[in-house]
Structure 1
Amino acid sequence: MVEIGFKLASEVFGPHELISYAKHAEDAGFDFASISDHYHPWLSQQGNSPFVWSTLGAISQVTEDLNLMTGVTCPTIRQHPALVAQAVATVATLIPGRFILGVGSGENLNEHIYGDHWPSAPIRIEMLAEAVDVIRTLWQGGMQDYDGYYYHVENAQIYTLPEELPPIYMAADGPIAATTAANNGDGLIVSGGKKEILDIFNKTGGKGKPSYSETSLSWAETDEKAVDLVYRWWPLMAIKGNISWDIPTQTHFEELVKNVKKEDIPEKIPCSSDPQVHMDKIKSNIDAGFDRICIQQIGNNQHEFIDFYKEEVLPEFQSGQKRL
């Protein structure tokens, strides 16, 4: 059974807008919403980056059935895992049974703000695995100590715990991260429906666990307008490779996207007014083996996009029930 989700892009929208989109997505029939957890937007013109835990608290008060998740939180440098454990416990108490903690190893753009050293990818993945262990230790309740290689917790107790602890999904973009997610996570998060990552996850211990793919596209009244939206709001979609994990500032990203040409965009991301193009993109993720697909609409026409999906796309995939 496949679930279709809606991406709440904290880089582009403020908290009031995100709350409104979450409610609209629920009313339109999306199964879940995933919200980004950043300190900075990728580009200055995107213009926002509200604190995710405050926004989730507000969303909890306007939704009734919509499952929610972070896509993704980095609990290693900017946010200590003991603090994330408390924040998530509170959110899961507010929305019992409908929250997933999505975690990843982070980007330099957000994580270097205290002046900390930015570790190599293998070290960041080790830190993430230990951070997840810290979180689960504190979720056991009672007074806890933790003496790990990267993290130390002394006399810490989370008093407000939900009756049902949320699952933890781990993001992966390479074989080391996929294997770590298989062994330490309750599910997998992949950007762009990369089947090779899911295959590694399944082969190294993750088979049978939920798998989540986030896919970006753009809808507008015409294909040309859809391309324009990407070019204005998220030209990074046309950049190849994984360089984004290591770039430290928006200024560097803005220099990078100067090389992007508008004609490059349709080759990298579906930009279409045709509902069949959107359905085909979702189906390609399903065919790759993913059972949760989150759609990120690039552009400032989010309400119009939600209505388009309600009428033209979601009925093709309606599951009739929700699950975590």
Structure 2
Amino acid sequence: MVQIGYTMMSEHAGPRQLVEDLVRAEEVGFDFSVASDHYFPWLDEQGHAPYVWSVLGAAAQATSRIPLMTYVTCPTMRYHPAVVAQKAATVQLLSEGRFRLGLGSGENLNEHVVGAGWPAADVRQEMLVEAVRIIRDLFSGGYVNHRGKHFQVESARLWDVPEQPPPIGIAVSGDQSCRIAGELADLVIAVEPEAELLTAFDRYGGAGKPRVGQLPVCYDPDRDAAVARAHQQFRWFGGGWKVNAELPGTSAFAAASQFVRPEDVAASIPCGDDVDAFVEAVRAYTDAGFTEVALVQVGGDAQLPFLNWAEKTLLPALRQL
């Protein structure tokens, strides 16, 4: 049976609300959770971008059952991989083994803030491979020295190491990233229900490993209100990650999505309260082979109504998949 997750979307709400909403998500029965790791929102209308690692620490203490995960962290620009390893080990200890470290090659939107420039996609993938290997070495608990093409590590060691290191997931969008994930990851991450990605992941060594997808949804009893909210805050989504990864800020996303119409968004994001539409959107992921699907409810003010509806209506329907 597919596992249904809840997304702490840090572009939609401040840190206290993110934790409070997650507590409710645990109460209503979501199987796991993921959290975005951003320095910027995609659009000004979203209005938030707290430091997710502080949020995760608070979430680990405020909850007792629900697994946590970054979706995803870039371990190559804003954060050095040695620091990411320390963050992840700490959250794993705080959550008593409920944390998974989701990694990806990043977005210009967030990584430009350190002023190091934005590398080409092939270089970003090289950096990710090197970073994952450093993180895994540090999870082993010993001293690590590394002289690599992109990173230097000098006598680093994690002094608080969990007995079970956090599993590492890698986000994929094409054959190159699928190869990296198949060879280096414990699970694969994607945001589109493309069976071809999972087939490639399996081909490169990922067979039998978890595969986690993410699906934006917009619940509201008033479907027109849901469509309007989804368009206001999620119209950026249609560009695809090969485009989205390159855009440098909210103004660029606003320009890139200026001609996206509400009906375009409604065609790709289930909006309203028709539970069958939500189920069919999740079914696209399960049919593609995903074992877990994290839902993103669009809009910070809409979380509690969505969670209450999910408890009574949506989750029981999704349990039938």
TM-score normalised by L of structure 1: 0.95
Could you say which residue in structure 1 is the equivalent of 2:311?
A: 310
Could you say which residue in structure 1 is the equivalent of 2:36?
A: 36
Could you say which residue in structure 1 is the equivalent of 2:229?
A: 229
CA shift for structure 1 position 263: 2.4
CA shift for structure 1 position 316: 3.3
CA-to-aligned-CA distance 1:209-236 (integer Å, 9 cap, x gap): 1100111121110221210111222221
Matched-pair contact (CA < 8 Å) for 2:70–2:102: yes
Alignment of 1:1-324 (within 5 A): 1-239=1-239, 242-299=242-299, 300-318=301-319
CA-to-aligned-CA distance 1:150-189 (integer Å, 9 cap, x gap): 1110011110111211100000011100111000111100
Counterpart CA distance in 2 for 1:244 and 1:166 is 28
Runs of 4+ in structure 1 off by over 6 angstroms are: none
Matched-pair contact (CA < 8 Å) for 2:173–2:241: no
Matched-pair contact (CA < 8 Å) for 1:6–1:30: yes
Counterpart CA distance in 2 for 1:40 and 1:240 is 18
Mean CA deviation greater in 259-268 or 305-314: 259-268
CA shift for structure 1 position 272: 2.8
CA-to-aligned-CA distance 1:253-300 (integer Å, 9 cap, x gap): 122222222222222222131111111111221111000101111123
Mean CA deviation greater in 22-31 or 38-47: 38-47
> In the alignment, residue 314 of structure 2 is paired with which amino acid?
V
For residues 272 and 192 of structure 1, do their structure 2 counterparts lie closer, same or farther at Cα, with a shift above 3 Å needed? farther
**What runs of 5+ residues in structure 2 fail to find an aligned partner?**
none
- 3-state SS, counterpart of residue 45 of structure 2: helix
Matched-pair contact (CA < 8 Å) for 1:96–1:163: no
Matched-pair contact (CA < 8 Å) for 1:192–1:216: no
Matched-pair contact (CA < 8 Å) for 1:220–1:226: yes
Matched-pair contact (CA < 8 Å) for 1:226–1:273: no
- 3-state SS, counterpart of residue 232 of structure 2: helix
CA shift for structure 1 position 242: 2.6
Counterpart CA distance in 2 for 1:267 and 1:240 is 15
Matched-pair contact (CA < 8 Å) for 1:14–1:48: yes
CA shift for structure 1 position 241: 6.4
Counterpart CA distance in 2 for 1:41 and 1:122 is 25
> In the alignment, residue 309 of structure 1 is paired with which amino acid?
A
Mean CA deviation greater in 82-91 or 277-286: 277-286
Aligned-residue RMSD, C-alpha: 1.4
- 3-state SS, counterpart of residue 213 of structure 2: strand
CA shift for structure 1 position 62: 0.9
Counterpart CA distance in 1 for 2:242 and 2:272 is 26
Percent identity of equivalent pairs: 39
Mean CA deviation greater in 61-70 or 235-244: 235-244
What is the aligned length?
A: 319
**What runs of 5+ residues in structure 1 fail to find an aligned partner?**
320-324
Matched-pair contact (CA < 8 Å) for 1:39–1:49: yes
Counterpart CA distance in 2 for 1:43 and 1:262 is 16
Counterpart CA distance in 2 for 1:29 and 1:297 is 16
> In the alignment, residue 131 of structure 1 is paired with which amino acid?
A
- 3-state SS, counterpart of residue 159 of structure 1: coil
